[in-house]
C-alpha cells in the first residue's frame, strides 16, 4: 500500500467524504480503509488533518434495533442517576463532580 493522496482544504475531488459527511448521507465507511486526507494549514502549528473515504465503497447505516434503543436508553438513564442520593438528576451528572449539583453543593440555594 502506498502513501495516501493529500489534498488541500476544500479541494478534494468528488467521490470522497469525511465520516461526518457520509453520516449526513445515511452512509458509513463500512470497513474500508482511509482513501485520502485533507490538510488545512495553520500558522505556527501542524496542519489540521481530515480523513476521507470513498463514497462509492460506503455502506448504508445500520438501522437502530429495539434492543439497541433499549440499551441506549438504559445507559443514558444511568448517566443521570446520582451515586450519592440515588435520584434522577434530570441531566447528565458532570464527571468533574461525580454527583448531582445538589449533593456536591448542599449549602447552595440551587437545591
Threshold 0.85, pTM exceeds: no
Is 24 a member of any domain?
yes
Q: What is the rounded CA–CA span in Å between residue 103 and residue 95?
A: 14
Same domain as 89, residue 54: no
Same domain as 83, residue 42: no
Is 109 a member of any domain?
no
Helix (H) or strand (E) segment spanning residue 66:
helix 66-80
Please count the structural domains in the chain. 2
Per the structure, the complete domain to which residue 26 belongs is given by: 6-60
The pLDDT tens digits for 17-39 are: 999 999 999 999 999 999 999 99
Same domain as 36, residue 80: no
Same domain as 77, residue 56: no
The pLDDT tens digits for 85-104 are: 999 999 999 999 999 988 98
Amino acid at each position: 500500500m502506498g502513501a495516501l493522496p493529500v489534498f488541500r482544504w476544500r479541494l478534494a475531488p468528488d467521490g470522497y467524504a469525511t465520516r461526518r459527511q457520509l453520516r449526513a448521507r445515511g452512509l458509513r465507511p463500512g470497513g474500508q480503509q482511509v482513501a485520502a486526507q485533507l490538510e488545512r494549514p495553520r500558522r505556527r502549528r501542524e496542519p489540521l488533518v481530515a480523513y476521507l473515504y470513498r463514497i462509492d465503497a460506503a455502506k448504508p447505516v445500520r438501522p437502530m434495533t429495539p434492543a439497541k434503543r433499549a440499551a441506549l436508553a438504559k445507559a443514558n438513564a444511568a448517566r443521570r442517576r446520582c451515586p450519592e442520593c440515588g435520584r434522577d438528576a434530570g441531566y447528565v451528572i458532570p464527571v468533574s463532580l461525580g454527583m448531582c449539583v445538589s449533593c456536591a453543593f448542599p449549602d447552595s440555594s440551587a437545591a
